[in-house]
């Protein structure tokens, strides 16, 4: 920033509103807390953490049980699946209406004689049924994938009858990273990546649609530090 836009980093105080908003975004990415811009008595604007978010984070710390806690993917992360289910139901219920929309989009005023409308209607209905079934796969994903914490490390379980399990001990975790798209940030979810020390950078655990992933990253780091003190 230039000298004509002074700041006070100790107070998180800024002369420009845009600079205060930039600091809010930075603090949100680094801490997982929600920040908002408030007017102050110093330079004009300050980045202040929301009280409601502090109470929510404190509640998460108080209710956390590292010995018996399973995390599932958030339902809000399956929005594309809901869209598939909705389109599938629409095709099953009224495939001819969808054909009409396609004709209108292509500006086709008269149906060609060779075009079998009942035949294509059944094809669309069958395609809608397949799309509906494909969209329902999120139910299996929700119940089959769980993230656990125990005294020694992080455990990822996949499967309901046949299961695959991957565990990384706390002292073997090399990298903790979080990925969030724009939609993920709006929904408050993200993808957690855990790399172990013995995989040469290969991701050992990937857990999608995790609620408040930035907080979880800090929480895992805290557990690693506590494990190292034993």
Segments making up each domain of the chain, as ranges = 7-58, 61-72+145-228, 79-138
The long-range contacts involving 213-219, CB below 8 angstroms and separated by at least 24 positions, are 213/178, 213/180, 213/189, 214/28, 214/29, 214/30, 214/31, 214/32, 214/178, 214/190, 215/32, 215/57, 215/60, 216/71, 216/178, 216/192, 217/32, 217/176, 217/177, 217/178, 217/192, 218/31, 218/32, 219/64
The answer to whether the CB of 129 falls within 8 A of the CB of 108 is no
> According to the model, what pLDDT value does residue 57 have?
47
CA dihedral (139, 144, 147, 153) in degrees, to 10, reads 180
Q: Which residues of the chain have pLDDT under 50?
A: 1-3, 7, 52-54, 56-68
Q: Which two tokens stand for residue 180?
A: 């969030």
> According to the model, what pLDDT value does residue 33 have?
67
Q: Which two tokens stand for residue 85?
A: 């289910």
95 vs 66: CA distance, rounded Å = 51
Q: What does pTM read for this prediction?
A: 0.58
| CATH number, span 61-72+145-228 | 2.30.29.30
């Amino acid at each position: 920033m230039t000298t004509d836009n002074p700041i006070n980093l100790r107070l998180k105080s800024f002369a420009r509103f845009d600079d205060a908003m930039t600091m809010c975004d930075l603090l949100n990415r680094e801490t997982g807390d929600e920040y908002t811009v408030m007017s102050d008595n110093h330079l004009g604007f300050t980045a202040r953490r929301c009280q409601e978010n502090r109470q929510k984070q404190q509640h998460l710390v108080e209710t956390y049980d590292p010995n018996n806690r399973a995390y599932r993917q958030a339902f809000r992360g399956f929005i594309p699946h809901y869209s598939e289910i909705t389109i599938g139901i629409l095709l099953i219920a009224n495939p001819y209406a969808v054909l009409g929309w396609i004709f209108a989009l292509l500006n086709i005023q008269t149906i060609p004689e060779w075009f079998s409308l009942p035949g294509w209607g059944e094809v669309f209905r069958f395609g809608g049924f397949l799309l509906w079934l494909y969209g329902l796969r999120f139910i299996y994903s929700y119940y089959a994938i769980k993230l656990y914490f125990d005294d020694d490390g992080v455990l990822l379980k996949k499967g309901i009858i046949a299961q695959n399990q991957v565990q990384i001990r706390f002292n073997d975790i090399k990298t903790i990273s979080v990925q969030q798209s724009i939609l993920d940030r709006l929904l408050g979810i993200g993808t957690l990546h855990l790399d172990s020390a013995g995989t040469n950078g290969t991701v050992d655990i990937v857990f999608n649609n995790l609620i408040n992933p930035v907080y979880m990253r800090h929480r895992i780091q805290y557990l690693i530090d506590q494990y190292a003190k034993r």
